Amino acid sequence: MSTAHVRALLDHVATELPRESWPHWTEGWPHEIEAGLLDAAFSARATYGMPTTGVRAVITRWRDHRAAPLDDLTALAAHADEPEDLLAVLNNRQRVPGNYTTKAEAVASAARSLTELGCTTSADLRDDEAQRNALVAAPGFGVATWECFTMQLGVRTAGSHQLVCDFLGEALDLETPPSAAEAEDLLAAAAARLEITPATFTHAVWRYQRAQRRVAGAR
């Protein structure tokens, strides 16, 4: 990919997801599996908000309650049988898609299922069938929840990688999306120009493309 491709990509980004208004210019929640799970749950069909509102406000409340690094799912799993305390801490009673239960209850249930498989910290997370099935078994959670959860922790799935490649293909008006190697080179080059990490750039792009697909699917 040429310098012209990088320039065209940055122009597209500046138009579609400018850094001053797009709230997802972060690396996600690396090394914080609790925050990643909360994000995946509470960002579903909800306004993401800014640092002190929406999803990040929920995570901040949990962080203040924990007063510890957010990388141990047993803390959330402890609320699986009696989620009222978790609901009170998070101060958010949003319900999952389908209205089966609250997002807080689903988070606690998924956390317990994952810990039972030995997935307790971010270092334990893998894109494998057993862990994915454990999470999507929680009422109201699905493959999109899994994709969001893993992306927050820097674990790329085939689906999340395809979304990023599709964005690059659309941004550069390519007949076919770039290969995996070409995509990584483009992401790294664009991130360097923006003076951010490739993980931050990839996360922002993935969030944007995911939102666009969701809007298109609702039409």
Last residue of a domain, one of 153, 188, 209: 153
The predicted pLDDT at position 217 comes to: 53
Q: What is the pLDDT of residues 122-131, one digit of tens each?
A: 999 999 999 9
Q: Which residue has the tokens 């659309």?
A: 170
Q: Does residue 2 surpass a pLDDT of 60? A: yes
Are residues 164 and 78 located together in one domain of the fold? no
Are residues 87 and 148 located together in one domain of the fold? yes
Share of the chain above pLDDT 90, in %: 79
Are residues 13 and 117 located together in one domain of the fold? no
Q: Average per-residue pLDDT in the chain?
A: 92
Last residue of a domain, one of 97, 131, 153: 153
Q: What is the pLDDT of residues 123-170, one digit of tens each?
A: 999 999 999 999 999 999 999 999 999 999 999 899 999 999 999 999
Are residues 188 and 205 located together in one domain of the fold? yes
d(CA 24, CA 200): 8
Number of structural domains (the chain) is 2
Residues spanned by the domain of 22: 3-26+158-217
Contact status, residue 34 vs residue 75, Cβ threshold 8 Å: yes
Are residues 42 and 98 located together in one domain of the fold? yes
Are residues 137 and 195 located together in one domain of the fold? no
Which class for 78: exposed (0-12), middle (13-18), buried (19 or more C-beta within 10 A)? Answer: middle
The DSSP letter of residue 178 is P
pLDDT band at 219 (very low <50, low <70, confident <90, very high): very low
Q: Does residue 213 surpass a pLDDT of 70? A: yes
Output the DSSP codes for 133-170.
HHHHTSTT--HHHHHHHHHHTT---HHHHHHHHHHHHH
Are residues 94 and 197 located together in one domain of the fold? no
Q: What is the pLDDT of residues 77-98, one digit of tens each?
A: 999 999 999 999 999 999 998 8
CA-to-CA separations, 155 to 10, 77, 146, in angstroms, rounded: 24, 21, 10
Q: What is the pLDDT of residues 3-24, one digit of tens each?
A: 999 999 999 999 999 998 898 8
pLDDT band at 1 (very low <50, low <70, confident <90, very high): low
The predicted pLDDT at position 44 comes to: 86
Are residues 9 and 77 located together in one domain of the fold? no
Last residue of a domain, one of 153, 171, 198: 153
Indicate yes or no: pTM above 0.85.
Answer: yes
Q: What is the pLDDT of residues 27-55, one digit of tens each?
A: 999 999 999 999 999 998 877 877 788 89
Q: Does residue 57 surpass a pLDDT of 50? A: yes
**Angle formed by the axes of helices 103-116 and 33-42, to 10°?**
140
CATH code where residue 79 lies: 1.10.340
Instruction: Tell me the β-bridge partners of 95.
Output: 102
Q: What is the pLDDT of residues 166-212, one digit of tens each?
A: 999 999 998 888 888 899 999 999 999 999 999 999 999 999 998 88
Are residues 145 and 198 located together in one domain of the fold? no
pLDDT mean over 60-64: 96
Q: Does residue 216 surpass a pLDDT of 80? A: no
The dihedral over CA atoms of 208, 63, 108, 79, expressed in degrees to the nearest 10, equals -170
Are residues 85 and 127 located together in one domain of the fold? yes
Are residues 55 and 143 located together in one domain of the fold? yes
Q: Does residue 218 surpass a pLDDT of 70? A: no
Are residues 169 and 74 located together in one domain of the fold? no
